[in-house]
Amino acid sequence: MPDVAGMTVKGRVTCAGAGVPGVVVSDGVAVTTTGKDGSYYLPSAKTKKFVFISVPGGYEVSAGNTILPVFYQAFGADASVVETINFTVTKTDNDKHVVLAIGDLHLANRNDDIAQFQNGFLPDAKATIDRYRQQGYKVYGLTLGDMTWDAYWYANKYSFAEYLSVMKNINIPVFHTMGNHDNDPYVAADWPAEAAFRASLGPTYYSFNLGKVHYVVLDNIEYVNKGGAQGTLGDRSYNETIVADQLAWLKKDLATLSDKSAPVVLAMHIHLNGNPSASETAALNLTNASALIDCFSGFSNVNVLTGHTHICYAYENSPTLMEHNSGAVCATWWWTGKSGYAGNQICKDGAPGGYAIWKFNNTGYQWLYKAIGYEEQYQFRAYDMNLVHITAANYAPKTTDALLADYVDAYAVKNTGNEILVNVWGYDKRWKVELFENGTMPLAVTRVKVKDPLHIISYEALRLNAGATPTSDFCTTTSAHLFKAAAVSPTSPVLIKVTDRFGNVYTETMTRPKALTVSMK
């Protein structure tokens, strides 16, 4: 390829030796597409380290002997040197594909996390992968950030290399999203704090296509980390925002899409919206959330996948854009499953530790939240509130009711109202929750925003029992995917029927009395 004035990067995208036209190529600032012969030119200032392709639908890139799709290459010289950078893709049929959305792993070699990950998440994910492959799906992974835990990079000698050494056993291509805890805690500035991520996992923002679906990954953390210096942990502070150069790049990337009705999936770590209310309202969370949403004006089918909160919720910003905040693999930072604790994996809202499964077939799709260690049908947990009475004697005998009182709210008082509480972690406003006493008599169901009692006895009670103060960020949060109904009898069976937006029905006949225990389903 001849040099072209002003163009500092050039190359071809090929498949089996032939050029692939129409492939989007970028350096994180400029965006172009390949011509008929698969060639491209970029006027790059080479300020963003990489040139990368937006892998086209119907193709894949090699992952070598790793899980990392090689859709990017680092520059080898500054902008005064014209570089030739070529890419090779392989044809594949991925119109029918599954993406596992894997949020908040927080691997740090503490709290028995490696054993919990290897004995819990990995075999569960492998079984899911095998199941969908047998159904003819291509399967991919997409993390939602916080693969690592910056506070323990140096103290425990655990960072991206160690993460990859255990994650590689998942044996699927995995695309990665930057989390706030994936920054170098010794560095007090955003771009240089990301250097370890880039060196291990590639660009912090990019796009790719699987079948008919366009995926965009953004880094919505502006790392500040006051006091950080070589050998010294900073305060690990950050701004929840998408910096201007990413928004500018996003607009250019989206401008390459001709069909604005086709599905677009946006992945980023920090949530777009706050935890919704029971009346289905939520405040925007990112400082420039409106500017981000405006980028998708004209697109009619946008789903936003986020993590960070360690809870589950779904919220429709509009009929064309919906956020899915998708739980955490580590649940409560691996505490409840740690040896000597509850022996379960439970997030702050009572959702089980888990990951989301997104199933695409051309432009049609469904999703669900998959609890680790359970079948896909496990989509809710029900409580007999007559037996939800959280006291030190019952759940934390080495502490006192006075200390426990700060965490248990109304559960400190015995309930005699024959109420049933149902936690439906995958709920969105198009789901339906119904309860029937004795299987036939419908009960009035009210959506409520309350704490999940199982999480309280699995985390706060057991931390107090160990003589420790529960970490405020890890404590049970109120959540609005819970539902309450009152039965007539304290002992009658209650049929619980939950129908998701796709018409899938999940049921349980609850036998009462039903005790509140850390091992309850």
Q: Are residues 353 and 237 in the same domain?
A: yes
Residue ending a domain, choose from 90, 123, 138 = 90
How many domains would you assign to the chain?
3
pLDDT for residue 63: 84
pLDDT for residue 83: 97
pLDDT for residue 373: 97
Determine, yes or no, domain membership for 2: no
Q: Are 418 and 494 in contact (CB under 8 A)?
A: no
Determine, yes or no, domain membership for 515: no
Determine, yes or no, domain membership for 376: no
Q: Are 223 and 194 in contact (CB under 8 A)?
A: yes
Q: Give the number of other Cβ atoms within 10 Å of residue 417's Cβ.
A: 11
Q: Are residues 47 and 105 in the same domain?
A: no
Q: Are residues 78 and 115 in the same domain?
A: no
pLDDT digit string, tens, across residues 410-419: 999 999 999 9
Number of H helices, E strands in the chain: 11, 32
Determine, yes or no, domain membership for 104: yes
Residue 266 belongs to domain with CATH number: 3.60.21.10
Q: Are residues 56 and 190 in the same domain?
A: no
Q: Are residues 42 and 63 in the same domain?
A: yes
Residue ending a domain, choose from 64, 90, 116 = 90
Q: Are residues 273 and 317 in the same domain?
A: yes
Which residues of the chain, if any, have pLDDT below 50? Answer: none
d(CA 189, CA 15): 40
Q: Are residues 255 and 163 in the same domain?
A: yes
Q: Give the number of other Cβ atoms within 10 Å of residue 345's Cβ.
A: 25
Cα diameter, the chain: 83
* H or E, element range at 406: helix 401-408
State residue 73 phi and psi, 5-degree precision.
Answer: -140, 145
Residue ending a domain, choose from 59, 90, 121 = 90
Closest by CA to 214, choosing from 360, 42, 430, 368, is 360
Q: What is the pTM of this model?
A: 0.97
pLDDT for residue 84: 98
pLDDT for residue 64: 78
State residue 408 phi and psi, 5-degree precision.
Answer: -100, -10
* H or E, element range at 192: helix 190-193
d(CA 369, CA 457): 23
Q: Are residues 19 and 85 in the same domain?
A: yes
Q: Are residues 307 and 182 in the same domain?
A: yes
Q: Are residues 395 and 326 in the same domain?
A: no
* Residue numbers of the domain that contains 310: 93-371
Q: Are residues 83 and 109 in the same domain?
A: no
Q: Are residues 188 and 317 in the same domain?
A: yes
pLDDT for residue 327: 95
